[in-house]
Amino acid sequence: MSRLIITKSIENFTCQIDDNLDTIIQKISDQSGIPLVVISNQGSLKGIISNGDILRHVKSKSFSSNLIASDLMNKFPVFVNEDSPKETIQKILGDKVRIVPMVNNLNIVKSIGLIGLKNFKIRSKNINEDNHEIYLVAEVGVNHCGNEKIARELIEESSKAGFDAIKFQFRGNDLLDERGENEFDLASQYINDELKRINLDENIEKNLVAYAQSLNMDVIVTPFTIDALNRALSLNIDGLKIASCDLTNIPLIKKVAKTGLPILISTGMSYEHEILKAYELISKYNSNYVFLHCNSTYPAPPEDLNLSYMRRLEKITENLIGYSSHDGSENYCYGSIGCGARIIEVHVTKSRDYDGTDHKASLNFDELTNFVKICRQLSKSYGTDKPRTPSQGELANRNVLAKSLIYNSNFKKGHQLKIQDFSLRCPGDGIPYSEIDKIIGKELLKNTKKFHQIKFEDIGLKEIFINKKSVPNYNFPNKNWGIPVRYRDYDTLSKYFNPPLFEFHMSDKDILLNPSEYIPAKSESKLVVHAIEQYSDGFILDFCSVNEEIRKESIRRFNELIEHCYKLHEFFPHSERLKLVVNIGGFTSYEFADQSKVNQMLLELEKSVKEIGICDGIDILPQTMPPFPWHQGGRSFHNLCTSVKSLRTVTDIFQTKFCLDVSHSYLWCNFSKYSFDKFINETKNLVSHLHVSDAHNNAEEGLNIGNGSIDFSEILPLLSNNTYTWIVETWQGHLNQGRGFASSLEELSDLITSRRKE
């Protein structure tokens, strides 16, 4: 959900009055279309520029690319005084007003008000509602025992484990008032003595901050005094923390908020009205904050953690929330993720047996790596609170396991359908029971067979997609494009699309068929075959398996396919050589393999390729794979044919080129944070054939072109080059007589035509 943001960091939302058009367009794009506030060189408000303002000038006859901000801006923007209450700004913001400059009495822009996502930004990281990241903070605190060497070990181990940030505590000498030492109660005396014992010299603080920064960790400091705050600010740190004990320290909170740095605020030991007061104060000066749920006992007992309060904390502080752990167990941190925590802070220690207040509430070195790993895994499970839709993996299983309406008996043309004429059977790619009312009482337009799926066209309710009198002409510059087919739909789809190329996707049942029964005449089109990957008995082809029985069986079954390919090839004489796309294996079931296991897989692959030998007239093309393939209704992990390095190694072994599955490789690039454009440019000379579809995130593959996130600008030159063959491979594109294939082909045709006109 969105929230009101009031930020003093105005640089990203403003432009200078003499900025050029390119600069303005780039800045608006960088901020997802939010208008820019135009200011003078002295910072005074001059106007506002939106995309609409730019578009009006572009459409005008007097448009010039030399326009600057003063030419484009609305000179009468809505604005408010910098001390205006939040309620006033919220009232102004809406569909027509997306940004409100907040000015002082001299008309200088001091803050910006806008509606944005709940988020927390620190250095290069942006934790928000649209991503699944969890920000992990390792709290050194007092667990260094006053020893610089131990402190460095804490930092180093936290960095190795994969924490995002390290957090220090900076103190002063004014923690206790001036009463005599014996006038304090025992608890205060103990804490004071303990803090004196482990206090670090300022030069050591400086060294430790520099060491953490050298390991590319974000550095956050909890200052307990104004002097400590000033010391922290002198060290170019990335964020500040308000400790639970200072939630009511108004002067310190004001100073921290006004720094403009990201702020974490712990809520241990507090009443809700104190949290609300701190929120009111911080949000007045700084929108980049996150409140952390916390129980300030060391270690905190489970029955006191009250993780359910976190949802309320998120609501009353109007932003993302986190969890500051003092419980000494990673389990409650995992529970906090389920309650909405996006920032987690844990204390780290070399040994829980050390003397001191925090060690028993901390995680040991040997727990850190697994803790980070599980938190990262859990972060991927966040998802969204939008109305539920099935995932792509679920849809695949739904298609297989759900049930569709079938006929109970053979029926003649003219039969009037009754409810007792139907039953339900798998798969679920037909008409569901929920639509039975559309069928009851209708007359059949043709004879039907017992236990066959009911089709809407059987009763004239749905227009048949195919129009045999109108074969589309996509006019691609590359005449080697095509569609995937099965034996069962070859005749139907060939009549509609008449493509220059067919790619037959094989199952183990298909290779038992006689091609002549499905292909009425020799074709002028070219032929590609996609090898069987998963067999009906559960076997998955894997030339790289370290299990010799699986590897040998893979070769045996592959050779059976080769024999069938020769029979099929006879019907496509215009393909001098047959391209055979194969998923070579190299997957694991529960996690990615380490490099030693990958190396062993490659050795097994070399053996398999030698044993397969040379297949006359056939080019075996390994296919690029996604990070997480679907196998037998569940997710696996792919270790080969994903990265550029892996593809080069595999093609060297096969002495051939590969099949670029665009959506698979895009998913891998997303997952590994590798530039997709760079991937294409580094591998295009190794490509022979392409599977073309759209994709999104790390797992949504095979989408219709335009329904995903892929920028096809680097792919289009390959599709236009006769060096390559390609097909559209949109998931379930064959349904409704190829409607999905047609949609994607039309989109690609438009993209290629537009590019040729540029």
Distance, CA of 548 to CA of 743 (rounded, Å): 44
Report the distance separating Cα 193 and Cα 117, nearest Å.
45
| Residues forming a β-bridge with 227 | none
In terms of DSSP bridges, do strands 578-582 and 618-622 run parallel, antiparallel, or are they unpaired?
Answer: parallel
CA–CA dist 757, 749 (Å, integer):
12
Please count the CA atoms within 13 angstroms of the CA of 125 that sit on its side-chain side.
21
Please give the pLDDT value at position 466. 47
**Is 286 found in the same domain as 414?**
no
Mention every residue, 6+ apart, whose C-beta is less than 8 A from residue 445.
413, 457, 458, 459, 460
AA letter at 204: I
Q: What CATH number should be reported for the domain holding residue 522?
A: 3.20.20.150
**Closest to 250 measured CA to CA, from 208, 280, 272, 220:** 280
Domain C-terminal end among 361, 379, 397:
379
Q: Is the pLDDT of residue 153 over 80?
A: yes
538 and 645, same structural domain? yes
Strand partners, 694: 703
Q: How confident is the model at residue 588 (pLDDT cuts 50, 70, 90)?
A: very high
572 shares a domain with 658: yes
Claim to verify: residue 188 and residue 55 sit in the same structural domain: no
Give the span between the Cα atoms of 291 and 222, in whole angstroms: 14
Q: What contacts 392, CB < 8 A, 6 or more positions away? A: 630, 699, 700, 701, 702, 731
Our CA dihedral for 718, 719, 720, 722, rounded to 10 degrees, sits at: 80
pLDDT at 1: 55
Helix (H, G, I), strand (E, B) or coil at 485: strand
In a domain, 25, yes or no: yes
Tokens of 131: 């991503």
**Beta carbons within 8 Å of 474's beta carbon, 6+ residues apart:** 481, 745, 746, 748, 749
Quickly count: other Cβ atoms within 10 Å of residue 85's Cβ.
10
The answer to whether residue 443 is domain-embedded is: yes
Angle, in degrees to the nearest 10, between helices 51-59 and 21-30: 140
Q: Which of 195-209, 216-230, 553-567 has the lowest mean pLDDT?
A: 195-209
Chain length of the chain: 758
Establish if 473 belongs to a structural domain: no
224: pLDDT strictly greater than 50: yes
pLDDT in tens, 705-747: 988 899 898 899 999 999 999 999 998 888 777 888 998 999 9
Given the structure tokens 């550095």, which residue do they identify?
219
Output the six-digit token pair for 601. 């897989």
Q: Quote the CA–CA distance of 481 and 499 in Å, as a whole number.
A: 7
Taking alpha carbons only, the member of 621, 670, 662 closest to residue 751 is 662
Q: Would you give the DSSP letter of residue 139?
A: E
- Whether the link from the prior residue into 223 is cis, omega within 30° of 0, is no
CATH of the domain at 213: 3.20.20.70
| pLDDT tens, residue by residue, 168-194 | 988 875 554 444 555 545 444 445 555
Please write the tens of the pLDDT for every residue from 104-127.
999 999 988 888 788 899 998 988
Whether residue 465 lies inside any domain: the answer is: no
Whether residue 247 has pLDDT greater than 80: yes
Element housing 701 (H / E): strand 700-703
For residues 149 and 634, what is the distance between their CA atoms, to the nearest angstrom?
47
Give the rounded distance of the alpha carbon of 184 from its chain centre. 54
Whether 115 and 93 have beta carbons less than 8 Å apart is answered as: yes
| Amino acid 148: pLDDT | 82
Cα separation values, 459 from 418, 425, 436, 452, Å: 13, 20, 12, 14
Give the pLDDT of residue 468.
44
Residue carrying the six token digits 């605020």? 265
Decide the pairing of beta strands 587-588 and 637-638.
antiparallel
Query: What's the number of CA atoms in the CB half-sphere (13 Å) around residue 28?
Result: 24
**pLDDT band for position 128 (cuts 50, 70, 90):** confident
Neighbours of 678 (CB within 10 A): 12
Task: Confirm whether 723 is domain-assigned.
Answer: yes
Read off the DSSP letter of residue 12. G
Residue 645 falls within a domain, yes or no?
Answer: yes
- Average of pLDDT values for 130-155? 82
The domain spanning residue 9 has which CATH number? 3.10.580.10
Instruction: Count the alpha carbons within 13 Å of 532 in the hemisphere toward its beta carbon.
Output: 26
Whether residue 427 has a cis bond before it, omega within 30° of 0: yes
Please indicate, yes or no, whether residues 180 and 241 belong to a single structural domain of this protein. Answer: yes
CA count, 13 A, side-chain hemisphere, 165: 29
- For 607-635, what is each residue's pLDDT tens digit? 999 999 888 999 999 999 999 887 766 77
Judge if 425 and 511 occupy the same domain: no
pLDDT at 517: 94
Q: Taking the alpha carbons of 576, 579, 580, 584 in that order, is the dihedral positive or negative?
A: positive
d(CA 108, CA 584): 64
**Residue with more model confidence, 410 or 333:** 410
**Which among 283, 311, 343, 325 is positioned nearest to 122, based on CA atoms?**
343
Question: DSSP string of 36-48?
Answer: EEEE-TT-BEEEE
pLDDT attached to residue 400: 76
Span 250-309, pLDDT tens digits: 999 999 999 989 999 999 989 999 999 999 889 888 878 999 998 887 787 788 888 899
- Closest C-alpha among 608, 492, 479, 587 to residue 540: 587
92 and 78 Cβ atoms separated by less than 8 Å: yes
Cross-strand bridge partners of residue 627: none
CA atoms of 43 and 38, how far apart (whole Å): 9
579 and 725, same domain (yes or no): yes
* Residue ending a domain, choose from 90, 117, 144: 117
Within this chain, do residues 237 and 160 fall inside the same structural domain, yes or no? yes
Specify the long-range contacts of residues 83-87, CB closer than 8 Å, at least 24 apart: 86/4, 86/6, 86/283
Q: How far is CA 249 from CA 246, 293, 709, in A?
A: 5, 18, 47
117, 149, 167: which is the final residue of a domain? 117
DSSP code for 714: G
Residues in contact with 604: Cβ distance below 8 Å, sequence separation at least 6, in sequence order? 543, 544, 545, 546, 551
Query: Domains in the chain: how many in total?
Result: 4
What CATH number has the domain bearing residue 432? 3.90.1210.10
- Considering the domain architecture, whether residues 625 and 701 belong to the same structural domain is answered as yes
Q: What is the pLDDT of residues 32-48, one digit of tens each?
A: 788 999 999 999 999 99
The Cα–Cα gap between 12 and 116 comes to 14
> How many alpha carbons lie under 13 Å from residue 645 in its C-beta half-sphere?
6
Kindly report the backbone phi and psi dihedral angles of residue 252, in degrees, each rounded to the nearest multiple of 5, phi listed first.
Answer: -65, -40
Mean pLDDT, all residues of the chain = 86
CB atoms within 10 A of CB 297: 13
Backbone angles phi, psi at 583, to 5 degrees: -90, 110
Residue 215 has a pLDDT of: 96
Please say if the pLDDT value at position 470 is more than 60. no
Phi, psi of 102 (to 5 degrees): -115, 120
Q: How far from 371 is each of 347, 374, 549, CA to CA, in Å? A: 12, 5, 37
In a domain, 384, yes or no: no
The boundaries of the domain holding residue 81 are 2-117
Q: Are residues 150 and 109 in the same domain?
A: no
Half-sphere exposure of 59 (CA within 13 A, CB side): 6
On the question of pLDDT at 639 being above 90, the answer is yes
The CA distance from 327 to 324, in Å, is: 9
Query: Do residues 281 and 171 both lie within one domain?
Result: yes
CA 723 to chain centre: 33
Token pair for 42: 């002295």
Asked whether residue 385 is assigned to any structural domain, the reply reads no
Neighbouring-strand partners of residue 114: 5, 99
111 and 139 part of one domain = no
